[in-house]
Amino acid sequence: MNYQWYPGHMTKARRMMQEDIKLIDLVIELVDARIPLSSRNPDIDELGKNKARLILLNKADLANEKQNELWSAYFKEKGFFVVKVNSKNGTGIKAINGVIQEACQEKIERDRRRGIKNRPVRAMVVGIPNVGKSTFINTFAGKACTKTGNKPGVTKGKQWIRLNKNVELLDTPGILWPKFEDQTVGLHLAMVGSIKDEILNVDELGIQLIHFLKEHYKGVLAERYECDESGTDVEVLEQIAVNRGCRLKGNDLDYAKAASTVVEDFRSGRLGKITIEFPERKV
């Protein structure tokens, strides 16, 4: 598969993030709980060094609960604070304030020693496109927040969302670019729908998903599509096309339609809670 990209975009976004990071105490990085490695760009480790770090396993509602636990442990072991969230319905969001205080304990203590009282923790949200940054900011900030702009000593035009007396959030998230050059990363991003479908071959994506599900989530395809999983990947796709009545004019099987049914069912959670990447395996 081939992906087009625009380096100009990326350079500008990175430069902006470098500037914004100077203003904050804590980086809140969203990753997709189904693909926690492919939905990260490790550049953030360099950009965010010396900052407190919180990883949110977002879309945890779509991922396998056991794997969510394993990923939490994986990132905690690497020194991150971690919270599992569903930004869409707010599950897990309440826990974040407490974790932010914990993650920024050092800064809070330092302020106290210097006699600075009640200076809120400043945070920014970062992540790759489509990981749920805007949804998270809206849910986390809720309606109760007030926006505070152009504070003295703060870059003009920056908007801060005052979440409560302890935390302020930069209202524009930082965009990180995934590691497109890695084919597996591209495939995994495509599976979860983070890459536009127009530039992908949906047949190929469906086949790859069938292959993965047969191996790691036995019985899921058989149950939903009443197909026999022991066939080849193409045979399984064919059965899905037959059973779902995916036909072209002239009655030929419509493989593309069957493939996109599988892909959409996976993305929307209709196939169940499915994690694509496992912590013990590198992508």
**Contacting positions for ligand G4P (CB under 6 A):** 58-59, 61-62, 86-88, 127, 129-135
State residue 84 phi and psi, 5-degree precision. -90, 130
Taking the complex as a whole, the smallest distance from the CB of residue 14 to ligand G4P amounts, in Å, to 16
Taking the complex as a whole, the smallest distance from the CB of residue 236 to ligand G4P amounts, in Å, to 26
Give 256: exposed, middle or buried? Use CB within 10 Å, 0-12, 13-18, 19+. Answer: middle
Taking the complex as a whole, the smallest distance from the CB of residue 34 to ligand G4P amounts, in Å, to 10
Q: Is the CB of 127 or the CB of 178 nearer to ligand G4P?
A: 127
86 marked ligand binding residue: yes
How far apart (Å, rounded) are the C-alpha atoms in residues 43 and 80?
15
Taking the complex as a whole, the smallest distance from the CB of residue 263 to ligand G4P amounts, in Å, to 14
Taking the complex as a whole, the smallest distance from the CB of residue 194 to ligand G4P amounts, in Å, to 8
Number of H-type helices and E-type strands within the chain: 11, 8
Q: Is the CB of 173 or the CB of 186 nearer to ligand G4P?
A: 173
Which residue, 13, 16, 17, is CA-closest to 45?
A: 17
Q: Is residue 223 within 8 Å of residue 271, measured between CB atoms?
A: no
Which H or E run contains 30?
Answer: strand 26-32
Q: Is the CB of 196 or the CB of 218 nearer to ligand G4P?
A: 196
241 marked ligand binding residue: no
CB nearest ligand G4P: which residue? 132
Q: Is the CB of 91 or the CB of 184 nearer to ligand G4P?
A: 91
Q: Is residue 190 within 8 Å of residue 276, measured between CB atoms?
A: no
Which residue, 11, 2, 1, is CA-closest to 176?
A: 11
87 marked ligand binding residue: yes
260 marked ligand binding residue: no
61 marked ligand binding residue: yes
Per-residue CA distances from 68 to 86, 98, 216, 224, 279 (Å): 12, 20, 16, 24, 10
Largest CA distance in the chain: 79
First to last CA, the chain: 17
131 marked ligand binding residue: yes
Taking the complex as a whole, the smallest distance from the CB of residue 269 to ligand G4P amounts, in Å, to 7
Q: Is the CB of 105 or the CB of 134 nearer to ligand G4P?
A: 134
Q: Is the CB of 120 or the CB of 129 nearer to ligand G4P?
A: 129
Q: Is the CB of 132 or the CB of 178 nearer to ligand G4P?
A: 132
Q: Which amino acid is at 268?
A: S
Taking the complex as a whole, the smallest distance from the CB of residue 245 to ligand G4P amounts, in Å, to 26
Q: Which 8-state DSSP code applies to residue 86? A: B
11 marked ligand binding residue: no
135 marked ligand binding residue: yes
Residue positions forming the annotated binding site:
58-61, 86-87, 130-135, 174
Residue numbers in the known binding site for GTP are 58-61, 86-87, 130-135, 174
